[in-house]
Structure formats: C-alpha cells, structure tokens
Amino acid sequence: MPHLNVPQKQKVHRRMPKWSELRSQLQFAPFERDATTRRLGRAHTISDLRDVARKRVPRSVFEFVDGGAEDELTMSRSRAAFDRVEFRPSALSGALAVDTSTTLFGRSLDQPIILAPTGFCRLSHHEGERAAARAAARAGIPFALTTMGTVSIEDVATVGGPEADQWFQLYVMRDRGLTTDLIARAKAAGFSTLAITVDTPVTGQRRKDLRNGFSVPPQLTVRTLLDIARRPSWWINLLTTDPLVFATIPAGEPEAHAKFIDSVFDPGVSFEDLKLVREAWDGPLVLKGIQSVEDARKAIDYGADGVIVSSHGGRQLDRSPVSLELLPQVADAVGDQIEVLLDSGVRTGADVAAAVALGAKACLVGRPYMYGLMAGGEAGVDKAIEIYASELRRTMHLLGLASIDDLDTSRVRLRPSN
Ligand code: FNR
C-alpha cells in the first residue's frame, strides 16, 4: 500500500456572526398586519385561492359553489380538456409589449374575461355582488348579474359606476310579465348586455347540496350550529348585514334551492319565447349554455348577437359536451356572424389564451371569482382577476405575441386524450 500523504483536515473555528454582519446578507419579509392581505398573499393561482376559500366558509357553502351535477363528469372533463392544450410559440418574435385588451359588442375589455352570473353571491361573502361588480369595473371587465342575485339590479348598477360594463343574466320565468319587467329594469339601470340562460329547464342535481341540506337562507340544524362555532366571522357577517334574500325576484319561503328555482323558471321555454325577449331588449343579446352547432345556428335565426358555449360549469346536464372541445366547431360554423364566448373550467390565463386561440372572443369565469370572494371579499375578487391578467400576459409574452388578435388556431392544438 503506497503511503498517501493526505493533508490533515484543518480544524475550523466558527464563531457566531454578529447581527450587524448578518443584516447585509439576510432580508426579513415585513410582517403584513392585515389578515386578509396576508391570506391572499399566499395565493398565487386560482387553485390556491380555492384552498383558502375552503377554510373560510361553512362546508355547505363551499360545496354549493365548488360542486357540479350528478357524477361531476362534465365538470372534471371540462378541466381535463384544458390540460390537453399545447401551444406553438414563436421564438425571437420581437414582441416587446403585450396588449391583452379586446373589444366586445363595441366596448373595450382590458382582458377577454367576464365575471359570470352566479347565484347567491352574498352567501360566499356578505358584500357579494357589490364586491364583484366593483372589482370588475376597476379591472375594466364586465360583471354579469344573475336573476338569482342577492343584490338588486339597481344596487349593482350604482356600485359599478357609470363606466362599468354590466350584463344581466335572465332566466325566462313562468310569469312572462315578471320576465319583461326584469328586462325593463336592466335596461333602465344601464346594463349593456342581456344573457339568456338556455340550459336550465330544471335545475341539475347537485348531490353535495342534497347531502348538505343546502338552503337559502341557511336553516338551523345541529350541524349548522356546530359550523357557527368553527366559522364565527362568516356567521357574524351573515347575521349582522342585510337579510340574505333574492333581491331581484320575489323571495319564496326558505326551502331547498333547486325546488324554489324550479317553481319560478319556466321548464317549457322554447326558441319561440325568445321573440318576446328580442322585442323587449334592443341591446346585445347572448344565449348562455349553447351545447351544439345546431343551436348556435338557431341562435342567429332568433336574433342573438352572441352565444356562450357553456355547460354551466358542469352544474346542469352531466355528460354534456365539453365547452373547449365543442368551441372550434361552433366558432367555425357561426364565428363570422355572431360573437362566440366560452365558459366552464377556465382556471388560468393560459386557458383564456387557448380558448381565444380556438375561436372564443372572451371567457366567462364563475367559481374562480367566487373562491376570491370567499377567501377575501372584494380584495379576493381583485386577486382572482389579477391572477388571470398576469398569467395571460405572461403566456402571450412567452408565445411571442403582442396582441390578443394574434391568438389564432395556428398557436394551439388539443393533444389527443390519453
Ligand atoms: C352558476 N352559474 C349560473 N349561471 C347562470 O346563468 N345563472 C345563475 O344564476 C348561475 N348561478 C351559478 C351559481 C354558482 C355558485 C356557480 C358556480 C355557477 C354558472 C356560471 O354562470 C358559469 O356558467 C359557470 O360558473 C362557468 O364555469 P366555471 O368558471 O365555474 O368553471
């Protein structure tokens, strides 16, 4: 064995550095005193916001928002379709700045996103539709108020301000007088666009709501009382602000959500009934919940200015078509005659870019801003919108595109499903 002259390890004497020496190398994050800002600061994606939301509200409320119909197949397939998106970027495109703005029905949107109509917003947060309408107006995107709103048409119009682009979503009611009265109120309040939801002859079966005994207002049971103990601030806010009622249509007795809706909406509504709506509304008219090329064509025949390819977020007919997969066919068939929009499962700015590239003028998002509302009220809705905006900007930049109009079918394909 040759003798190796291995140098002896020198003993190193370490001393604790002084604080003054450390200060130049370490930075302590300033402590955020505001709990909401702290909470929202931890959310970097819509999925993070959902995690925060889950901890803030009673389980029955979270699941009412988060859940889908029956086996939730359409809901999960809608998400999975976006995972199949593959982009085709251009290298060294020279695009210095990115402009995410677009124009819809003659109005400018800062990004191609619309806050979708969602019922019972004030369950998620006591400020409900007011918070969402203000956040949308600030961000330069439209807010759509539902017929099932918990803040009235007139109040939403006031909080948004004169510049706000607000849409009214209408369910055709059994009472046609009430239906035309709502249209007149939306018109008088300055709403820009009317969206008629066409996928809800009856309410889809949301099994989580059934299991949770979901009702509006919440009914007191032993479980609700236990929940109060675990979510005191949500309950205090609910009980110390305006009563939670439908603010636009006559409120029924507290009862199961689906039962009440089915007693008010007309299950027999047909395309012919749209004539009444078209006569009463002279602004842009959109059909929400289109799920076939044939119906998109019919929408044109009955005077619609746009269609929303939508499965209602997978909350109505389970196993209905997946919006993103149907979109190219609808855009191909009617895209040069009316505006084509999309919703259901849009969770990132990259999803928005993909939908626009495949033919949508803009996307509606429902649950994502409700997660924001639950997580942090108005600031939470701001956060949800900011997440989409920064993700969309970054996606376009990485694709090498300067403007929304550059997003076309050459930029994206759907990979075959596994
Ligand atoms: C909805 N949606 C809905 N649509 C509508 O036309 N009128 C309504 O009153 C409601 N209410 C409602 C409540 C809640 C809690 C949710 C989550 C959704 C459907 C909504 O407008 C939109 O189509 C979907 O939410 C889009 O799917 P994502 O973005 O939630 O995946």
Any atom of ligand 1 within 6 Å of the Cβ of 346: yes
Ligand 1 center to residue 334 CA distance, Å? Answer: 24
Give the pLDDT confidence score for residue 264 in this predicted structure.
79
Instruction: Establish how many alpha carbons lie within 13 A of residue 270's alpha carbon, considering only the half-sphere containing its beta carbon.
Output: 2
As separate numbers, helices (DSSP H) first and strands (DSSP E) second, the chain gives: 18, 14
Give the pLDDT confidence score for residue 238 in this predicted structure.
86
Give the pLDDT confidence score for residue 418 in this predicted structure.
66
Give the pLDDT confidence score for residue 255 in this predicted structure.
55
Residues in the chain, pLDDT under 50? none
CA distance readout (Å), 267 to 199, 313, 414:
10, 20, 36
Q: Are 166 and 191 in contact (CB under 8 A)?
A: yes
Ligand 1 center to residue 212 CA distance, Å? Answer: 19
Q: Whose CA is nearest to atom 16 of ligand 1?
A: 118
Q: Relative to the CA of 367, which ligand 1 atom is closest?
A: 30
Give the pLDDT confidence score for residue 13 in this predicted structure.
73
Ligand 1 center to residue 310 CA distance, Å? Answer: 10
pTM of this structure = 0.93
Q: What does the alpha-carbon distance between residue 118 and residue 85 come to, in Å, rounded to a whole number?
A: 27
Q: Are 329 and 362 in contact (CB under 8 A)?
A: no
Residues classed as catalytic: 312
Which residue reads 């989409």 in tokens? 388
Q: What does the alpha-carbon distance between residue 336 and residue 225 come to, in Å, rounded to a whole number?
A: 55
CATH, range 103-396: 3.20.20.70
Give the pLDDT confidence score for residue 7 in this predicted structure.
65
Give the pLDDT confidence score for residue 3 in this predicted structure.
58
Q: Are 306 and 286 in contact (CB under 8 A)?
A: yes
Q: Relative to the CA of 79, which ligand 1 atom is closest?
A: 31
For residue 22, the SS3 value is helix
What is the average pLDDT value for the chain, to the nearest integer? 92
Dmax over Cα atoms in the chain, in whole Å? 104
Q: What does the alpha-carbon distance between residue 147 and residue 173 come to, in Å, rounded to a whole number?
A: 10
CA angle in degrees (0–180, nearest 5) for 132-133-134? 90
Give the pLDDT confidence score for residue 343 in this predicted structure.
98
Q: What does the alpha-carbon distance between residue 256 and residue 237 come to, in Å, rounded to a whole number?
A: 22
Q: Whose CA is nearest to atom 12 of ligand 1?
A: 118
Domain boundaries, the chain: 103-396
- DSSP string of 327-384? HHHHHHHHTTTSEEEEESS--SHHHHHHHHHTT-SEEEESHHHHHHHHHHHHHHHHHH
- Shortest CA distance to 98 belongs to which of 400, 357, 360? 400
Give the pLDDT confidence score for residue 310 in this predicted structure.
98
